[in-house]
Amino acid sequence: MHNKFKGKVLLLLALTLTFALALSAQTRQVELSPTTNQALLRNNSDLGFDVNYSVGELKIIEVQTKEGTFDELSIEGWGFSNEVGEPKLPMLRRTIAVPLGAEVRLTLNSQSAREFDNNANKLQNRVIPAQEPISKSADPATIPFVVNEMLYSRDEFNSRDWVQVSELGMMRGVRVFALDFYPVRYNPVTNSIRVMENLDVRVDFVNPDIIATADMLARTASWEFEQLYSNTIFNWNADNRTALVRHPTKMVILCPVGYTSNIQSYVDWKTQQGFVVNVATVGSGGTVANTTTAIKNYMQSLWDAATADDPAPTYLLIIGDESGTITVATNTGATGSHVTDLTYVRLNGTDYMPEMYHGRFSVSSTTELTNVINKTITFEKTQMPDISYLGKTVLIAGVDSSWSPTHANGAINYATTEYFNAAHGITSDTYLYPASGSSDEQIIANANEGRGYIVYTAHGSQTSWHDPSFTVSDVNAMTNSGKYGVMVGNCCITNEFDYSSPCFGEAVIRKADGGGVAYIGGTNSTYWNEDYYWAVGYKTNIDGSAPPYDATKLGAYDAMFHTHGETYDKWATTVGESIYSGNLAVSQSGSSRTNYYWEVYHIMGDPSVMPYLGVPTANPATSPTQIMVGNNSYA
């Protein structure tokens, strides 16, 4: 923000609701040009690319807050600026790959902008200011509604650049930037807007180190990361990387000294699957001392030693709780007072995007360790007595009178409309708000019958899904013998694995011959908008209905199912890829909680586990009786 805009920010307290409620008034539209709202990539090369932005229509929705009525100005499918207290204006973010060593230079070429006064633009109220993200653990009545009144009193258009670029960091060997287009400027005194309807931008990479970039790509090549680049990076050229993926995937297992014999069957199974497994013992007399510094240094050494012929590991599996008998140390987050294993896989730059998928068998005894291993092997080998349950799911929008009608119901409706439905061979027991609040017993009964995938979004605690209630005691009493799957909690603190008693996620994986094989959840509070983006992608029309599919804005569900004609390099098949895809959607939103989400979302279980999305069928395989010397392939 420019200095001339700096001023006192007025906090409008008075127990203000910090979420906005859309009024029943119809949406107003400002027609601009006979074109679609889009960003088109052209002339893509290692040295840069061109992009054409066009804006065809603006939408205005009247919004009621306790501090009066505002207008929300939006572009269908686009996001918003998020400077708290300042006008919330449309924004389109694209993540781009930039060569190592290069400076990014923007040149604005052909452009067409128009100004609309108060009558022409159909604004009837001031544009609503952006607010802080709202935690699912927060009481909205205690959070201030922030308006930068000094800025709103200025009789001038904001002077933000139409297009901005900022470095995000390194995404496993790929340097990534945010390319943001802000098509609307706003004068809050006259209530006028200035709109960039059409803009051609040249993006040049100045002085790129092409050799170093190619070397980094080769040393970090991993098939399991290819879909992330293809799905996320605007200017990604798959040919630059996929040809480099020619070595087996590597997994590091950190195991406390004295327990390697207990995991040998699991190491053998992972090896049979094709992984190159590196078991590092942790503790006195082991490969690495049981301290956060020693473990981080060890993981860093593996990353730094990677070569094109021996690429860096893709997965990290930690064996043990953060304290107790079977222990591997964990870290305290930099973005809050929570535990996190993210530090061990932040290995390329200072950003928060991990270079490996990570998970933890958080167990406190050899019995619990055996339980997790036996379930996971049985699940991955599909040795369950009756696999029909894998075609059944439970999807729950929990109770919150303010947010569940829009955010929780919207996420679940998207899941059932696009994916968890009969067209995909799946039967879903779906519980939307408010009916979900009286469905506790039925939900637990569904889980006890066995379900391949279970999702809950709303409020949580260390030991429960809050409402409808599903507690650690309920998990411990589960009767789904031989019928376990993957569970996801888009809710607060259910994976807080340093809690004084087993947290919900730990209970799920520790349960003998029941519970689940993996649990995805947060070690701290999660947020309403961000959990919505995590699940369905950065889609801003949050009204409780299923938003339309958008190939440029994918969430965890989209990456998992890949049923819209995506090529194989865009498929996310493991729980590790799923959680990464969800967090990338939060990053795409530009949320101030992006780094926080990388730290708090964790997997209880093996990050390489592939959830079943329907009842699997046997894959027929034949092989020749003889393979001649010199042949390098057969069909």
Residue 523 has pLDDT above 50, yes or no: yes
Query: Under DSSP, is residue 465 helix (H, G, I), strand (E, B) or coil?
Result: strand
Q: Which residues are CB-contacts of 440 (< 8 A; sequence separation ≥ 6)?
A: 468, 469, 470
The average pLDDT across 494-517 equals: 98
For residue 139, name the pLDDT band (cuts at 50, 70, 90).
Answer: confident
pLDDT digits (tens, 9 = 90+) for 43-71: 999 999 999 999 999 999 999 887 889 99
The whole-angstrom separation of Cα 626 and Cα 206 is 54
For residue 240, name the pLDDT band (cuts at 50, 70, 90).
Answer: low
pLDDT digits (tens, 9 = 90+) for 358-385: 999 999 999 999 999 999 999 999 999 9
Rg (CA), the chain: 25
CATH architecture of the domain formed by 387-604: 3-Layer(aba) Sandwich (3.40)
In terms of Cβ atoms closer than 10 Å to its own Cβ (0-12, 13-18, 19+), residue 622 is: exposed
In terms of Cβ atoms closer than 10 Å to its own Cβ (0-12, 13-18, 19+), residue 300 is: middle
The whole-angstrom separation of Cα 150 and Cα 8 is 6
Mode of pairing for the β-strands spanning 276-282 and 315-319: unpaired
The whole-angstrom separation of Cα 344 and Cα 295 is 7
Mean pLDDT taken over the chain: 92
Start-end of CATH 3.40.50.1460 domains in the chain:
387-604
For residue 620, name the pLDDT band (cuts at 50, 70, 90).
Answer: confident
- Assigned CATH topology for domain 3-242: Immunoglobulin-like (2.60.40)
SS (H, E, C) 473-526: HHHHCCCCCCCCEEEEEECCCCCCCCCCCCCHHHHHHHCCCCCEEEEEEECCCC
pLDDT digits (tens, 9 = 90+) for 182-205: 999 999 999 999 999 999 999 999
Tokens of 419: 């994916």
The average pLDDT across 342-363 equals: 97
For residue 23, name the pLDDT band (cuts at 50, 70, 90).
Answer: very low
- pLDDT value, residue 48: 98
Backbone angles phi, psi at 431, to 5 degrees: -125, 105
- pLDDT value, residue 536: 97
In contact, 382 and 200? CB cutoff 8 Å:
no
Longest pairwise C-alpha distance within the chain: 82
Q: Which residue has the tokens 């920010």?
A: 9
User: Nearest-CA neighbor of 54 among 69, 78, 33?
Assistant: 33
Start-end of CATH 2.60.40.3800 domains in the chain:
3-242
In contact, 385 and 482? CB cutoff 8 Å:
yes
Backbone angles phi, psi at 464, to 5 degrees: -165, 160
In contact, 452 and 392? CB cutoff 8 Å:
yes
In terms of Cβ atoms closer than 10 Å to its own Cβ (0-12, 13-18, 19+), residue 153 is: exposed
For residue 117, name the pLDDT band (cuts at 50, 70, 90).
Answer: confident
Q: Which residues does the annotation mark as catalytic? A: 459, 492
